[in-house]
Structure 1
Amino acid sequence: MAFVAGMACALVPVGSHAHAQETGDDQAEQSQTPASEPAPTSLNRLSLDDLIPSDAVNNAEEWAGQSGPGATSPQAEERAEADVDDVSDAAEVQLDSLTDPAISAALDNFEIPQPDQLEPDPQVTAIAEIDAPDLIEFPELEEFKISDELILAFPKDNDRFPERTGFIERFKALSTIETLEGGEGTVPQLAARARADETLLAEMLRTYGYYDGEVVRQLSGGRRGDNGDGSNVDVDPQVRFDVLPGDRYTFGAIDLGQLNEAPDFEMLRDSFGIQTGDPLQSDRIIAKQTDLRLALGEGGYPFAEIDAPSLLIDHDRSEGDLTLPVAPGGKYRIGGIVSADESFLSGKHLSRIARFEGGDIYQASLQADLRRAILATGLVTSVTVAPRELTAPQDGQPGEVALDVEFEEAPLRTIAGAVGYGTEDGVKVEASWEHRNLFPSEGSIRLRGILGTREQLASITFKKNNFRDRDQVLTVDAYASDIETEAVDARTLALRGSFEKISNLLFQKPLSWQVGAEVLYSDERNRVIGGVERERQTFNIFGLFASATIDASDDLLDPSKGFRLTGFLAPEVSRSQGINSFYLRAQADASVYQNVGSTVLAGRVRAATIQGAEFFEVAPSRRLYAGGGGSVRGYGFQGVGPRNDFGEATGGASLVELAIEARIQTGLLDGAVEIVPFIDAGSVALGSTPDFRFIQYGAGVGVRYKTSFGPIRVDVGAPLNPTQFDAPVVVYVSLGQAF
């Protein structure tokens, strides 16, 4: 019907026209129209007012609810019916006009040309040829609760992500959600930090070589709940991350720059370790770069350079091509040590300190060790040790370098003083003066004096550090003293010399030893008690001594595991009142340390004896005593053992001590404070064989405050089976653990 009507309109004769002008709702004027032209329909005469009556404006909802196009005014409905009749009549007229012979003849020869076929659009073809995406099977996941606010989920099949355990621990250390505290405002904070943690997880996956991995974040909870006081708070907010690692990439091509030019290429290449086809992990690149740098430094390459690595990821191959620019720089031997100031620390002396000989292959660790040893002298504040080429490598033979040592001198003279009071020492004033390099290199002189209620001392000491070899010390000490202890009143002149191989805070040795000799004159008596004068007795003593320590502990001042064994022997000859006495003083110490969680259990045993003489033939100052902060805590110095009728501690010829303590971490002051309960026991016998007749027990608790130079110790002990001579409580303060 629409096609026929359209044809009729197209065949209107030229010059014909039809128009209508609205004059109102029901009136219109029409121009004269040829008989062959159909009359225009009245549908064209409907106005907006006919379609939407005025009452619809006043009651729009009621008018809109009417159904059908006839929901208008009655007049509009009548006109619409008339229009339908007019359209039907017009259609019949148009059909009749198509039977005109002239028109039919024109249409017989009318042809519509066939359009040319269009060329296919390449873009449309490419889109059509794209295969439908394969749907990835979502693996079964296993949840790991990190905290109340955080859950991680990984594929349950551990083979899909074998690094899961280490990944979780690493994430805990870096997560921003882990540092979030609960309370109001937690939900918006949790949402913000969840986005940061999502980025973190994605970066961590790439670090482990999972470049196609995905992280799905879900934020749940955060419901509004009653706080109990009428206010509302967010409750139970939680974030879950589903970690889908995907396939792990592997190392592709590996370029190590000029490393193949090194004489030790195979050894150096093996130290790097990473091979094509190995699982890709960024951490391993850094670790193996360090291993290669160490191998170069230890293999004789002082001028080796390694630039930053780069990794090119190829997603098509699922591989990463690694480039690590390496310039080995040639292999060298050590030619010697050159000091910046020969008069202060000579090159010859520095060669004694060094742990290498001229001609040895260069090692970076030997260079670093030399620097630490120079700092340990205490004569300098800063040191630099740098290799300098003397001869270049030729014909496959290493070159030669000198180690240039430059330093800044430290103040060499020291004046020190102290004033104090102790239950064992009484009032004491101490002063000293020292020049640490008066006799270069490292020859020092020290003057020391003590004035106190129980001790007076004047001494001069010469010491030569690093004497003839590393960490060997020669010491000569001359002193005069007047000492009054719990058991002894002695006035002594002495000369003592020793030669030792020692441990220090920078270089703790598994074996240290000492040998020496001493000669002394001593005027002694037991202490005056109750106003009863004791007869003084002089002794001329000459002795040799030697000791050795096996140290398998992990720290010199604060051990937490391992053990120590020390043995001491001192053969002596003593002459007093025309009688010569020959005897041997011997002592053995053993201590053991064991970690139990955050607590260190420590135990000590000591045994000593004097063989070859009765105890009364030995000068009181050379006998064996127990009691004190380094012996049996809870008792005064030399307060444990037999006493005579005057209540004097006489000492003895044999000794046994035991001690057990627990060093418990408290977490106070960032773990610097320890609480240490302890129990000690000790016995001194008159004979050279222990008989345990005079055994004393002590117990107490101590506090340790750890510093960079060792723990400060404060112990409070009480005797468990006290005598009339023992105080109820004794306090000890010192540096380092009790043993």
Structure 2
Amino acid sequence: MRHPRLASHARRRAGYVTLFVVITVLLPGLPAAFAADPQDYTTTIRPTGNADLDAALKASSDLLSLQKTQAVSPFALTGRIHNDYSRLISALESYGYYAGTITITISDGSHKAATPADGGQDGRDPDLPEWLQALPAGHKAQVSITASTGPLFRIGTVTLNPDKGDGPIHLNPTEVAAFGMKPGAPAQAEAVLTAGAALQTALTEEGYALAHVSTPQAWLRPATHTLDIAYTVHRGPVVNLGAFAFGGLQRTHPAYIARRLTIAPGELYQPSRIERARQDIASTGLFSDVQVNHGDTLAPDGSMPLDFGFHEGKRHSVGAEGGYSTDLGGRAGVTWTHNNLFGNAERLRLTALITGLGGSAEQGLGYDFYADLMKPDFGSRQQNLSARIEGIKQELYSYRQTALLARIGIVRHVNRHWNVSFGGQIEQEQIEQMRATNSYFILSVPLTANYDGTGVDNPITPATHGVRVGASITPSASLTDGTSFFAIMQATVSTYFDLRHLGLSRPGRSVLAFRGTIGNVEGASTFAIPPDQRLYAGGSATVRGFRYQGVGPQFTNTRYAIGGTSMDAGSFEYRQRILQKFGAVGFIDAGQVTADRTPFQGTVRVGAGAGARYYTPIGPVRLDVAVPLNRPAKGDRWELYVGLGETF
């Protein structure tokens, strides 16, 4: 039925249609001032009271999503309105409302019209295009959508039908729990589809590699407001893994991949274990992409072969390294890395650094050249072999050192939290201190253990909770000018507390961080230990605000640190994220060094300061300024530290 006002309007138009044609013929350049083309409009979807359903309706409506991005003519707007009926009905049905209705009303904006009874135009009216064309230019059409849900339909009967040739379907308790579809549950499309997918996943995890659960058939029962559903299930045989094929390997030995894999032929087929094995191989860093696939048919022996596809990453990489603090000055250099030296993921890294660029604790330029070789899976899968050859020159105020050292060790990952390492090191060095030069040949056997419960895989990523513990003991022997034996023992504990646990901030925005360090040298007195083996404090690793090696005993009337046999230090930080990429830090540190073998002796030095952070994809850029609160007579007044990652 046509709207009366629109019928009268049409009769009036019939009287001047000829004149309009004449005018447009005689004056073709005259614009049509009666209708807007394209037709602007706004869309309002009235809430149903169900937030999830309202979100689904908004996501389904082309009227809403396209109103600002695509201009539309009156006729095209009519088509968009007609299409929205089916799209919105589908959204209702996906939430179990199979008897729902959609009402779309259009008004000219002069008054609020939620329904045709309020004076609006019904979206299904066949005269809607004519009505839209009659809107004067500059008038926005107001589109109002009302969804009436009707009763919620629930699941009626649930049937599992065997595929052709299969026997009756009987689910075990694990499969029943995974399927989860029971009569009486809301007949929501997502739940119905998810149940079938979950059952198929459960079957394949039990070794039924060819299992398949079809898209369910559904029968609507309006009289009872229920939906009967039926799934066709093919279970198939239990399957073991067959032969593995490796494709795309160019420089990597297939034997290494076979040893590294956490699955093997003959084991039960399980997609989750296959995926974990794929991710583990990808984590080696050798490949830019790792894929694993299998066909739909079994091998003649009834096993399921797997095809691994690899795309090897770059073999070589070059990086830059740099940092700055007012005590140690600037350090800058380059690193060259070979990522697969012998085809078994061996990594060779060559680094050259210039150090001591303008530091207050430095007397001149130094260098640090080293070559690192890491061989993964040495002896066992969770064990790596590492070796280093290094040349060092340091022009510190405490001493001048030129050294050549070599070390080799094994790092073993005990579990996801713990790793331990052990090895051996030899060092030949020459040290000048207080105008006296001595040579040392040192043998040492460092043993370390580390625990990380922060859940952070990348050490540069700031931790927000958990505990980190590092402990080491290094038995050593100095064999020049008389043999001295000593053991250096050190331990560091850091912990982090997110203030969200107190309801004071959002997760990860406000964090308290604490660090404690203690060290002790047993077996020899201070001057029987080479200067570089003694314990020192001061700098970013212990007490900020004091220069590197600036805390502890010093030679009389000099800036030269003696070092000690006992050291302890503690730090507290308050870390606050600001907006998305910025942050601020306030901190206070304290520590002491003494020649006594008992910790917590000597003069406590305290420093405090603040810093700024800029968060990048690889980690925060750190800038800290600290001042000593009880500065010694010859100490510095302040220190600046710049680096990547948090201090601890």
TM-score, structure 1 as length reference: 0.63
2:47 alignment partner in structure 1: 152
User: Does residue 678 of structure 1 match 2:597?
Assistant: no
* Secondary structure of 2:561 counterpart: coil
CA distance in 2, matches of 1:582, 1:264: 70
Q: Hey, what's the Cα distance between the residues in 2 that align with 1:691 and 1:239?
A: 78
Q: Secondary structure at the match of 2:275?
A: helix
CA distance in 2, matches of 1:486, 1:206: 78
Letter of the 1:715 partner, please give it. Answer: L
Distance 2:105 2:601 in 1: 76
Percent sequence identity is 19
Q: Distance in 2 between matches of 1:408 and 1:180?
A: 41
* 1:212 correspondence with 2:99: yes
Aligned pairs for 1:699-718 within 5 A: 699-707=609-617, 710-718=618-626
Structure 1's 404 and 202: CA in aligned 2 closer, same or farther, altered over 3 A?
A: closer
Of 345, 355, 360, the match for 2:252? 345
Aligned-partner SS, 1:295: helix
Label 1:604 to 1:258 Cα distance change in 2 as closer, same or farther (>3 A).
farther
Separation (CA, whole Å) in 2 of partners of 1:264 and 1:481: 71
Q: Is 1:349–1:441's contact at 8 Å kept on the other side of the alignment? A: yes
CA separation of 1:209/1:536 partners in 2, compared to 1, >3 Å: closer, same or farther? same
Q: Deviations over 1:132-165 (max 9, x none)?
A: xxxxxxxxxxxxxxxxx987364xxxxxxxxx46
1:606 and 2:516 matched: yes
Is contact 2:92-2:149 (8 Å) kept? no
Counterparts in 2 of 1:461 and 1:309: CA distance versus 1, 3 Å: same
Conserved? CA contact 2:398–2:559, under 8 Å: no
Instruction: Please report how far the alpha carbon of residue 664 of structure 1 lies from its aligned counterpart in structure 2 after TM superposition.
Output: 1.9
Partner in structure 2 of residue 648 of structure 1: 560
Residue identity opposite 2:377 in structure 1: N
The aligned counterpart of 1:16 is: none
Amino acid aligned to 2:646: Q
Cα separation, 1, equivalents of 2:399 and 2:104: 79
Q: Contact 2:555/2:562 (CA < 8 Å) preserved in 1?
A: yes
Report the Cα distance in structure 2 between the residues aligned to 1:544 and 1:463, rounded to whole angstroms.
Answer: 19
The residue aligned with 1:661 is 574
Match of 2:599 in 1: 689
1:737 is matched with which residue? 646
Secondary structure of the residue aligned to 1:536 is: strand
2:473 aligns with: 570
How do residues 143-292 of structure 1 correspond to structure 2 at under 5 angstroms?
152=47, 154=49, 164=50, 166-167=52-53, 203-214=90-101, 244-255=149-160, 258=163, 265-266=171-172, 267-292=174-199
1:484 deviates by 3.1
- What letter is aligned with 2:519? T
CA distance in 1, matches of 2:464, 2:219: 47
Distance in 2 separating the partners of 1:172 and 1:537: 80
Consecutive unaligned residues in structure 2, runs of 5 or more: 1-43, 69-73, 112-137, 357-364
| Residue pair 1:251, 1:279 contacting (<8 A) in 2 also | no
Deviations 1:351-394, CA, capped at 9 Å, x for gaps: 3322234432122122222222222222222222234676457x
1:587 Cα shift? 0.8
Contact in 1 for aligned 2:537/2:567 (Cα 8 Å): no
1:549 corresponds in structure 2 to: 450
Q: How far apart in 2 are the matches of 1:586 and 1:579?
A: 23
Deviations 1:487-535 (A, max 9, x none): 44321121111211359xxxx9232222222121222244xxxxxx532
Matches within 5 A, 1:29-178: 152=47, 154=49, 164=50, 166-167=52-53
Give deviations 1:667-697, integer Å, cap 9, x for gaps: xxxx3x1313221312022133113622222
- Partners of 2:341 and 2:347 within 8 A in 1: yes
Aligned-pair CA distance for 1:619? 2.7
CA distance in 1, matches of 2:573, 2:627: 15
Question: How many angstroms does 1:345 deviate by?
Answer: 3.4
- Structure 1 position 321, deviation (Å): 3.3
Letter in 2 for 1:577: D
Code of the aligned partner of 2:417: P
**Aligned partner of 2:281 among 374, 387, 395:** 374
Contact 1:561–1:595 under 8 Å retained in 2: no
CA-CA distance at 1:261 after TM superposition: 5.5
CA distance in 1, matches of 2:242, 2:587: 57
Deviation (angstroms), 1:730: 0.9
| Equivalent residues of 2:213, 2:234 under 8 A apart | yes
Q: 1:475: Cα distance to partner?
A: 0.7
User: Whole-Å Cα distance in 2 between the matches of residues 199 and 553 of structure 1?
Assistant: 50
Give the letter aligned to residue 241 of structure 2: I
Contact 1:254 1:275 in 2 (8 A): no
Distance 1:178 1:647 in 2: 73
Q: For residue 534 of structure 2, what is the aligned residue in structure 1? A: 623
Indicate the SS of the match to 1:152.
coil
Provide the C-alpha distance between the structure 2 equivalents of 1:455 and 1:258, rounded to a whole number of angstroms: 76
Which whole-Å deviations, capped at 9, do the CAs of 1:607-665 have from their partners, x for residues lacking one?
Answer: 22214243443333233334444544445444444433212234432112222222325
Return the structure number with greater relative CO, CA threshold 8 A, min gap 6. Answer: 2
1:693 and 1:247 map into 2 onto residues whose CA distance is 76
Q: How many residues align?
A: 545
Q: Report what 2:380 is aligned to.
A: 469
- 1:719 deviates by 1.5
